[in-house]
Chain A
Amino acid sequence: MNWIDIGHIDDVPLRGARQVKTKVGCLAVFRTGETEVFAVSNLCPHKGGPLSEGIVHEQKVTCPLHNTIFDLNSGESLGVDEYRIDTYPVRVEDGRILLDRDAIAQRSAA
């Protein structure tokens, strides 16, 4: 994989998120634990709510617009309506958050 450093873990508040702009759209990077991060598409497929603004609980986020809950592991919604958001490889190394450049590029090619 081809990792890019996008920032320090402490730049993302605990149980919060920050946006990352990419050529293929906006991603949301979530911090669910001291050194636990997830990267998913920022856009809720329901009505386009910015997921990075949602409330983060355990490894889930609730969309700020209409309360759809997504599991950040799978990208799948919980509840009756089924939605899915893209998830992206991300990891933390020495306090730096790293995104996989290839994964972002692959989506653009698709």
Chain B
Amino acid sequence: MQKLVVIGAGMASGRLLEQIIAANPAAYDITLFNAEPRGNYNRIMLSPVLSGEKSYGEIVTHDDAWYAENRITCRFGEKVVSVDTDRKVVIGEKGEVPYDKLVFGTGSSAFIIPCPGHDLPGVVAFRDLEDTTAMTEAAGKPGARAVVIGGGLLGLEAAAALRLRGMEVTVLHISTHLMERQLDPAAGYLLKKDLEKRGITVMLEASTKEIVGNGRVEQVNLADGTELPCDIVCMAVGIRPSVKLAQDSGIACGRAIKVDAQMRTQTPDVYAVGECVEYNGALFGLVAPLYDQAKVLAKTLLDEEETFVMRELSTKLKVTGCDLFSSGDFAEGEGREDIVFRDPARGIYKRLVIENDRLIGAVMYGDTADGNWFFGLIKDATDISDIRETLIFGPSFQGGAQVDPLSAVAALPPEAEICGCNGVCKGNIIKAIEAGATDLGAIKATTKASASCGTCTGLVEQVLSVTLGDDFVLPAAQPVCGCCDLTHEDVRRLIKVQELKSQEAVWQELGWKTRNGCHVCRPAVNYYLLADWPLDYTDDPQSRFVNERNHANIQKDGTYSVMPRMWGGMTTPQELIAIAQAAEKYGATVKVTGGMRIDLLGIQKEDLPAIWYDLNQAGMVSGHAYTKGLRTVKTCVGKDWCRFGTQDSTGLGIKLEKKLWASWTPHKVKLGVSGCPRNCAEATCKDIGVICVDSGYQVSVAGAAGMDVRETERLVDVATEDEVIEWTTAFVQLYRENAKYLDRAYKWVAKVGLDWVKETLADDATRRALVERFDISQSVYQVDPWAERAQPAEAVKFHPLADLTKEAAE
């Protein structure tokens, strides 16, 4: 009988042995080496063993009886020292074994990030039963904390299992969303939410700097300075094929052991199978192709023809109650079309990627019933042009399953606050409906919901519709755009109520029909998020119109205009000299504006960082003449110079401008401060106007001097500058928090009513809370965008990516 020696008792080599024995039990005299002191078990089920949802006994694939029955000589717990391919012997720690055929099934080992402290006791991988036992031991201590490094399949399974075991778990992931190789951002968002519901903390874009501890792991320190005390660190960042033995034995290796389609290495009578092989430049980690390889190698060893073919793979996560499925290619390439389905009420997201009438990728979260059907379509490259329209509804499509436009509201919990003004939650409204209030008027009368500013009217109507079903006819409302069914007001309110803090959260929870919005909704959603969650949300420049992204106004010829800030219209000879020099240097046309500043027109995009740098050097910052934000505070000269002046209007204007500059608002905001009722600063047609009088200050709001011309209306009369600043700031913040994107203040005030604005701001606590929230936002946003972008690393982004004009056209 020929002698077959197999090194490594893993899932692939185990399957290989099964196949050989099933086909011909007398084919080989088999010796099996394994460094672990045990035989083959189902490694992919280690995470449920870690969680306690499975026992080790259940995942044993081959027990001692099986090896005995099949007369396999087991050398478990014995390492192979070397292989002599000339003499055809395997040299184990306990002696040599000759072979006729040799199979490497050495598998892989965990990749450990070589950060300081990676070798401390308490840092474990998650590859074998020993790792699993080490982690369960650590979990035994009450209140024990684990840090899992790596938000891929293995890391997340470990995290969920450790959490079930009772640990406090933090997952650190380097990328912007979880499982980025298998999931798109939307599915990654849902997965993160799901894990957080289990009490797991997920930190994205988290880079591990070092692991510290005195003789044992005590803490993980991140590059951003975060410190995470912990009892155990699980490194699950990836695997590396174990090929040292093969390399030392002179077997040809690339990243792993090189094999052909019959699993033959380049050395005669030596084969390899599993995670330690490299075929056509590819490595293998998922189980399906390993089993395919085992089948092919079994045939090869039995002298039968078989060829290994790479096939499409699908991914599932073994976390109980987490339903996700992904397969194929959904992020790369051209000529592709997406079909997106979201059902926020049930937490479902599905996306199909189609190319040339073939399904090439599928990601689904929450509903994976059709996963295998889609997987089949991908694998077989089926022409789906005939079923394209209904494809996303799966094989059992029966003309139903439309997205319910109300599902975002249906998904709200009863305690969700629908009317912020009067603190009315969804449960109250439903109770009122059940008690007989079946129209908007009755709801207003019984609960006061939408009875104040009225911006939640749409939501109240939707609660009526969800509760009453067909008995309530929903009035047609203007949705933000074709991407969703909700109005701006509804989106704003839901972002607050549901605490949606990322674009992905908005797309999913509010049932967006597109993958990432469009030029209409994305700037609005970006604004709403940054206005409501300044500390949690990061402004996305790619969701901004060109002027705000480039911090300059684009002109019809593609050049830009640059306008430095002149606080309250005051300037100095030094500033004017710098402006003049810059204008000359960059060939600008110079225009004095209506807002008391100087505009430099005709600047090339690539010159912007340079001219900003020059202006910064003279102490000037961006005038934000291009933003939906504070533009100018127009002032008159005030009592220092003017014989009619009653107060220091210029000084107050400067103070207001210094307070408000660089804040983002739904639309532009212009202020005026006049020193007397003669109103030289034209304050009464601004968004906010201040008129100084002998007794103090008249603050008025909601003026306009554009397509509409409107005089401001009096908000309040106050005695001191500090009060002017407080009321003005509170008004701006109220506008920031409540108005529809691209509504000027006068339009917004007309919608909610000046009385509501006055009433809201008149409450001292509310007013101060608004100012406080404004200050928090300014702590993030009150920076000069020019200075940031004049830095060399940023400035280069204003240049073309490449200049190929010097390339010869061949």
A85 close to B (CB within 8 Å):
no
- Asked whether, in the complex, the Cβ of B800 is within 8 Å of the Cβ of A20, the reply is yes
CB of A20 within 8 A of CB of B541, answer: no
Q: B353: shortest Cβ distance to chain A, in Å?
A: 10
Query: How far apart are the CA atoms of A59 and B810 in the complex, in Å?
Result: 31
CA distance A55 to B336 in the complex (A): 19
Indicate if the CB atoms of A23 and B804 lie closer than 8 Å.
yes
User: With A6-B802, A20-B800, A105-B809 as given contacts, are A57 and B522 in contact (CB-CB < 8 Å)?
Assistant: yes
- The answer to whether A82 has its CB under 8 Å from any CB of chain B is no
Please encode chain B, from 305 to 345, with 1 for each CB lying within 8 Å of some chain A CB and 0 for all others. 00000000000000000000000000111111110000000
**A50 to B558, Cβ gap below 8 A?**
yes
Does A36 contact B331, Cβ atoms closer than 8 Å?
yes
Report the Cα distance A14→B804, complex, angstroms.
23
Contacting residues, chain A, for B541 (C-beta < 8 A): 13, 16
| Contact in complex: A102, B805 (CB < 8 Å) | no
Partner of A55, one of B335, B542, B550, B810: B542
Contacting B801 at CB < 8 Å: which of A18, A24, A56, A60?
A18
Chain A residues with Cβ under 8 A from B809's Cβ? 23-24, 104-105, 108-109
User: B807, A4: Cβ atoms under 8 Å?
Assistant: yes
Shortest Cβ distance from B479 into chain A, in angstroms? 16
Bound: A109/B797 CA distance, A? 31
- Is B546 a contact partner of A54 (Cβ separation < 8 A)? yes
Query: Which residues of B lie under 8 Å from residue A49 when comparing CB positions?
Result: 558
Bitwise interface map of A from 47 to 81 toward B, beta carbon under 8 Å scored 1, else 0 = 11110011111111010110101001100000000
Contact indicator B804/A6 (Cβ below 8 Å): yes
B801 and A69 form a contact (CB under 8 A): no
Q: State which of B289-297, B512-520, B636-644, B778-786 sits at the interface with chain A.
A: B512-520
Give the size of the chain A interface in residues (CB under 8 angstroms). Answer: 53
Counting chain A CB atoms within 10 Å of each CB, the highest count among B514, B515, B519, B801 belongs to: B801
User: Does A34 reach chain B (CB closer than 8 Å)?
Assistant: yes
Do residues A48 and B804 form an inter-chain contact, with CB atoms below 8 A? no
CA distance in complex: A46, B338 (Å):
27
Q: Nearest A residue to B515 by beta-carbon distance?
A: A58
The 8 Å CB contact of A57, one of B333, B337, B518, B544, is B518
Is A45 part of the binding interface, using a Cβ–Cβ cutoff of 8 Å?
Answer: no
A58/B542 in contact, CB under 8 A: no
Kindly list chain A residues whose C-beta atoms are within 8 Å of the C-beta of B807. Answer: 4, 22-23, 101
Q: Take A6-B802, A6-B804, A21-B800 as given contacts and tell me if A101 and B810 are in contact as well, using a CB distance cutoff of 8 Å.
A: yes
Q: How far is the CB of A7 from chain B (nearest CB, A)?
A: 5
Q: Which residues of A contact B546 (CB under 8 A)?
A: 50, 53-54, 64
A/B interface sample: 10 pairs, CB < 8 A: A6-B802, A20-B802, A21-B803, A23-B807, A23-B809, A24-B809, A49-B558, A55-B543, A59-B334, A90-B334
Binding site for A on B (CB under 8 A): 180, 331-338, 514-519, 522-523, 541-546, 549-550, 554, 556, 558, 797, 800-805, 807, 809-810
20 A-B pairs besides A23-B804, A33-B331, A55-B544 with CB distance below 8 A are A4-B804, A11-B801, A15-B516, A15-B542, A16-B542, A20-B804, A26-B800, A35-B332, A36-B333, A47-B556, A49-B558, A50-B554, A57-B514, A57-B517, A58-B514, A58-B516, A72-B334, A99-B804, A101-B810, A104-B809
